[in-house]
Amino acid sequence: MNAYEIPLTPASQTFQTTIMGASYTLTVTWRQAAGLWFLDIADSSNNPLVNGVAMVTGVDLLGQYAFLNFVFKLYVISDVTPDALPTYDNLGIGSHLYVATP
């Protein structure tokens, strides 16, 4: 299994990335009421694939979407402690989004 980081900054953002040859649009948004970052993924034509995925540690963020047959996994990993959630200020600095491919 290979893994690499998708670089993020502690700001809401939308950008395109290529994973295993396919282009995706990722949108990362901070929701103050929940105190969490959330992830939306769209295909190259900007058709939504998944929306509102809480960016939590310790799980494959796409695990609940196995029926969509993603060929990769997404993980949030903290530099501090394994279970520390990304904060408003540390996304991409102390908490990171990783893609794991076969």
User: Given a cut of 90, is residue 1 above it in pLDDT?
Assistant: no
Q: Which of residues 83 and 60 earns the better pLDDT score? A: 60
Which pTM was predicted? Answer: 0.94
pLDDT in tens, 45-76: 999 999 999 999 999 999 999 999 999 999 99
Task: Tokens for 86, please give them.
Answer: 């990304």
Cβ atoms within 10 Å, residue 87: 17
Contact of 5 with 94, CB cutoff 8 Å: no
At residue 28, the pLDDT reads 98
**What one-character DSSP code corresponds to residue 10?**
S
Choose among 15, 50, 34: nearest CA to 61: 50
d(CA 52, CA 41): 9
Between 11-20, 51-60, 77-86, the lowest mean confidence (pLDDT) is in 77-86
At residue 80, the pLDDT reads 86
